[in-house]
Amino acid sequence: KRRKDLAAENVNYVEFVDNESDIDVLFLKQYIKEILNKMPEKSRLVFLYSREDGLRNPEIAKLMNISEKGVEANLTRAIKFLKTHMKRDGLALLVVYDVIKEYLPK
């Protein structure tokens, strides 16, 4: 149901989506975005700089004026936060299944 709602909200974008996995990617991105918005600001920023902008820990530390250990701690906290929410929502299992389903016997 959530995927259908997401598709309806993004109808202009979804018109160009031609397969189910593209819709899954849209859903996952939106889901992660919602979790990131609930995350403490410093952890969220470190995560975004690392994962979306591709910055390395020393670059993030300099940009945010914190130590590299602080970057590591916030990145660890952000990943744990994501995992906890995904596990709570059962999404982690769905993501793993979607990744390995092509290798399962038919």
Burial of 23 from C-beta contacts in 10 A (0-12 / 13-18 / 19+): middle
Q: pLDDT tens, 50-95?
A: 988 999 999 999 999 999 999 999 999 999 998 888 888 776 656 6
Higher pLDDT, 84 or 27: 84
Q: For residue 103, what is the DSSP state?
A: G
What phi-psi label fits residue 75: left (phi over 0), alpha (psi between -120 and 50 degrees) or beta? alpha
**CA separation for the pair 106, 103 (Å, rounded):** 9
